[in-house]
Amino acid sequence: MKIAVLPGDGIGPEIIAEAVKVLNALGESFEMETAPVGGAGYEAKGHPLPEDTLKLAKEADAILFGAVGDWKYDTLARELRPEQAILGLRKHLSLFANLRPAICYPELTEASSLKPEIIAGLNILIVRELNGDIYFGSPKGIRTATDGLFPGAREGFDTMRYSEPEVERIAHVAFQAAQKRHKRLCSVDKSNVLETSQLWREVMTRIGQEYPDVELSHMYVDNAAMQLVKAPKAFDVVVTGNLFGDILSDEASMLTGSIGMLPSASLDKNNKGLYEPSHGSAPDIAGKGIANPLATILSAAMMLRYSLGKAEQANRIEAAVQKVLAQGYRTGDIKTAGCQLVGTKEMGEAVLKAL
Ligand code: NAI
Ligand code: MG
């Protein structure tokens, strides 16, 4: 099995190094090949997603991605900026399903600003459609209005649209993810106002008949935003479109109080995927050896579960992470009272030992 390792920029190389060590310690024979991406791709080959890097990503069974971006590239033309790498990979590899777990480890409850009884033991999964919706729907642009409240004024416009096959494929991913968990799926939409959402709800309900073991419910997005802070543990898996999912997944990540702990996966229709921490390249702490590598290590675990068919090994890694937290090891971002403060490498070592 081949894994494309794309460290990227900022803390990317530091956190990826620890995840690679953990993968190497599993006793499997993975072939891992590293290539530059983002700002590093631009420095090496003049493009954030160099041709060779894309080729490697296409050949590989899965991609382990660090993070891209740095303020020093802000003046580059948009198509040369580091973030284009991740957009390019999503597009070229047809990665349409974004899986973002939000887990609140009991040991880290105090790192969140929410009441412990609301978030202790939280473990939910947000499945966000990634290729469609108002972000990509045409037509879009800025023009002179010919109707509406202010004819003749400049107006911006975007188009929200989802086709049935687009909703069907994300529905299958979400129902199957729910089958691997507590078998409850909540589909989030705004079908009281949006036609797109009415079709979304209809398709979710229809596909749900193929998964009689999964309990399907529906919720409006405004209510879902409230329920996520009021009673997040009531959810198991949430499935929603690109726009709502962007917002709700960021909201859910904050429930856990620690961006350095959250993995993510982006899958295609064959469960090939790109795995990366939910956070960015953290240029403010890059090179200091203090970044939390756990989100990346947990992303590697997701890769084993969803793309490489190694659920046992995924469980091993997740158990090891749980163990180091119980042992009191903390990087600065998840510092708790009386903990043992460690850097990136020490945290990686601790996970290796716990394995
Ligand atoms: P960020 O997630 O990189 O950092 C936000 C804050 O969280 C910073 O204070 C940072 O030090 C801290 N942080 C993040 N990850 C951490 C970790 N593993 N351990 C400890 N602390 C951590 O988001 P920000 O600052 O908005 O963006 C920085 C750069 O990252 C930008 O260039 C942005 O475009 C890029 N970015 C890249 C993403 C990707 O590669 N998929 C996603 C989000 C942002
Ligand atoms: Mg976002």
Is any atom of ligand 1 closer than 6 Å to the C-beta of 284? yes
ipTM of the modeled complex: 0.97
Report yes or no on 289 lying in a domain.
yes
Tokens 């899965």: give the residue: 62
Residue 32 exposed, middle or buried by CB count within 10 Å (0-12, 13-18, 19+): middle
* pLDDT number for residue 190: 98
* pLDDT number for residue 274: 98
* Distance from C-alpha of 256 to C-alpha of 109, rounded to nearest angstrom: 7
* pLDDT number for residue 39: 98
Helix (H, G, I), strand (E, B) or coil at 6: strand
pLDDT 10s digit of each residue in the chain, 355 long? 999 999 999 999 999 999 999 999 999 999 999 999 999 999 999 999 999 999 999 999 999 999 999 999 999 998 999 999 998 999 899 999 999 999 988 888 877 777 888 888 899 999 999 999 999 899 999 999 999 999 999 999 999 999 999 999 999 999 999 998 999 999 999 999 999 999 999 999 999 999 999 999 999 999 999 999 999 999 999 999 999 999 999 899 888 877 889 999 999 989 899 999 999 999 999 999 999 999 999 999 999 999 999 999 999 999 999 999 999 999 999 988 888 999 999 999 999 999 9
Q: Separation of 229 CA from ligand 1 center, angstroms? A: 23
* pLDDT number for residue 180: 87
* pLDDT number for residue 51: 98
Report yes or no on 8 lying in a domain.
yes
Report yes or no on 142 lying in a domain.
no
* Distance from C-alpha of 36 to C-alpha of 128, rounded to nearest angstrom: 27
* Distance from C-alpha of 80 to C-alpha of 173, rounded to nearest angstrom: 32
What is the number of domains present in the chain?
1
Is any atom of ligand 1 closer than 6 Å to the C-beta of 246? no
Best probe residue, ligand 1, of 281, 288, 294, 346 (max atoms within 8 Å of C-beta): 281
* Cβ atoms of residues 128 and 246 within 8 Å: yes
Report yes or no on 305 lying in a domain.
yes
Report yes or no on 326 lying in a domain.
yes
Which ligand 1 atom is nearest residue 15's CA? 18
| Radius of gyration for the alpha carbons in the chain, expressed in angstroms and rounded | 21
Report yes or no on 182 lying in a domain.
no
Q: Separation of 252 CA from ligand 2 center, angstroms? A: 11
Is any atom of ligand 1 closer than 6 Å to the C-beta of 53? no
Q: Which ligand is nearest to the CA of 126?
A: 2
Give the domain range for residue 266: 1-97+262-355
Residue closest via CA to ligand 1's atom 5 equals: 282
CATH of residue 296: 3.40.718.10
* pLDDT number for residue 254: 85
Q: Which ligand is nearest to the CA of 334?
A: 1
* Cβ atoms of residues 292 and 78 within 8 Å: no
Is any atom of ligand 1 closer than 6 Å to the C-beta of 83? yes
Report yes or no on 304 lying in a domain.
yes
Best probe residue, ligand 1, of 80, 261, 279 (max atoms within 8 Å of C-beta): 279
Q: Which ligand is nearest to the CA of 278?
A: 1
**100 annotated to a ligand binding site:** yes
Report yes or no on 184 lying in a domain.
no
Return the closest-CA partner of residue 103 out of 233, 269, 246, 271: 233
